[in-house]
Amino acid sequence: MSFTLARKYANRFALTAQLNDMLETTVEQRTRELEEQVLIAESASRAKGDFLANMSHEIRTPLNAVIGMTEIGFISKDAERKDYAFANIKKASEHLLNVINDILDISKIESGKFELSEVTFPLRDIVSRVETVMRFKSDEKKQEITVNIADDVPETLYGDDMRIAQVLTNLLGNAIKFTPEGGRIALTVGLDREEDELCTLRFLVADSGIGITEEQKAKLFSAFQQAESGTKRQYGGTGLGLALSRQIVELMGGSIWVDSVFGQGSVFGFTIRARRVEREPMKEVRADTSVKLQDGEFAGRTILLADDVEINREIVMALLETSGLSIECAENGEQAATMFEENPGRYSLILMDVQMPILDGYGATKRIRSGSSPQAALVPIVAMTANVFREDIERCLASGMNEHLGKPINLDNLLAILRHHLATR
């Protein structure tokens, strides 16, 4: 064999060996990557499995109270005992609604549809409102809550006041839950910096509770997880509140963190960015819980209530029983549109369900708005629906509706809408 031929075969052998080494390395690397992906997927699956098991508990617990207290209310002869059952049914229902709202918010986050709804608002009023609600819970545990807002914090801001309140409620609720009786909780609000009226605000919630270990901190702000499995058994909760809070403050250009010493307490902090507004807050159609329904308040007015579910119609009629309103009902969108067309000047307002047979609420609204009478364009139409995502609200408004009222119906919100529209008609 010639020297040239020998060298040629040697080069081939070397190249083949090199290719084999590269192939083995690639296979080994790819195998490791696949193994890592499997571990990540298994971990995520376990986390979601734990979450679903926890969610089943969180949903079934208040449902058990609702069903059990309903039975007690039925069989009780004593009025006081019935009132006790009703109060517990209301409390359990509100808890269940909070759980569902958290699940919906997480769903919106994962689908990329979680957005802010910004308005002009007085910050101190929001903090005061949250403090008032949370103080009822802290008083039950004989805890002390203090609130301090720095003097340089702006009076009025432009941002999402409801989401700020949601984060504060989550953090204060956790502080109350994980702080023993007689403990202390402090909320402080300060101004970190301000550039061209864009303020960075800092909120701190400190407690003298059970504290958090370094290992637990890593899990706190992840969806579907709590600090440890024993936490949900002892204290309850969905494990979603802090994950939602993180998403909210990040959308507001801020961040969230925790400092804690296990067994001694924790400090949860977050920042947000909001614009200072040097004017009076805009008037929003908000619930005013200080003004209750007055007997005969809407006397002489007639409204049209369109809903295909009988119990939903009964609830609205019962809530407004003393209002003085005359309420006429339709069981589908076709009937509602026909009733309006036959007497367009009769109705001062229409409460319109969205999902109805024959003709849905969107179609009924468009048909009413396309009418030739002047009232067709003027009559207020309020969506009354369990569809509460932003795209649902926007679709209602695009169809010609004036307002959106989410189910379950909150009487204060319903009254705010009625007063806003009927006071001027």
pLDDT attached to residue 54? 61
Tell me the C-alpha distance between 362 and 383, whole Å: 9
Backbone angles phi, psi at 253, to 5 degrees: 75, 20
pLDDT attached to residue 47? 62
Find, among 342, 385, 386, the residue nearest to 367 by Cα: 342
Which residues of the chain are modeled with pLDDT < 50?
Answer: 227-236, 280-290
Find, among 249, 242, 288, the residue nearest to 160 by Cα: 249
pLDDT attached to residue 61? 67
Pairing of strands 302-306, 265-276: unpaired
pLDDT attached to residue 185? 94
- Write out the H or E segment, with its range, that includes residue 192: strand 184-195
pLDDT attached to residue 113? 65
- What is the rounded end-to-end Cα distance, in angstroms, of the chain? 108
In the chain the domains, ranked by start, together with CATH numbers, are: 3-110 (1.10.287.130), 119-276 (3.30.565.10), 302-422 (3.40.50.2300)
pLDDT digits (tens, 9 = 90+) for 87-101: 888 877 877 877 777
Find, among 195, 202, 192, 193, the residue nearest to 171 by Cα: 202
Q: Which amino acid is at 378?
A: L
- Write out the H or E segment, with its range, that includes residue 69: helix 3-75
Which residue bears the tokens 């990540």? 40
Which spans in 268-387 are helix H? 310-319, 333-342, 361-369, 374-378
Which residue bears the tokens 């989550």? 170
pLDDT attached to residue 184? 93
- The string of DSSP letters for 225-276 reads --S-HHHHHHH---S-HHHHHHHHHHHTT--EEEEEETTTEEEEEEEEEEEE
Cβ–Cβ < 8 Å for 304, 353: no
| Radius of gyration for the alpha carbons in the chain, expressed in angstroms and rounded | 29
Spatial CB neighbours of 210, under 8 Å, sequence gap ≥ 6: 178, 179, 180, 262, 263
Both tokens assigned to 260: 């804690």
Inter-residue long-range contacts of 404-408, CB under 8 Å, 24+ positions, other chains counted: 405/351, 407/312, 408/93, 408/97
pLDDT attached to residue 10? 57
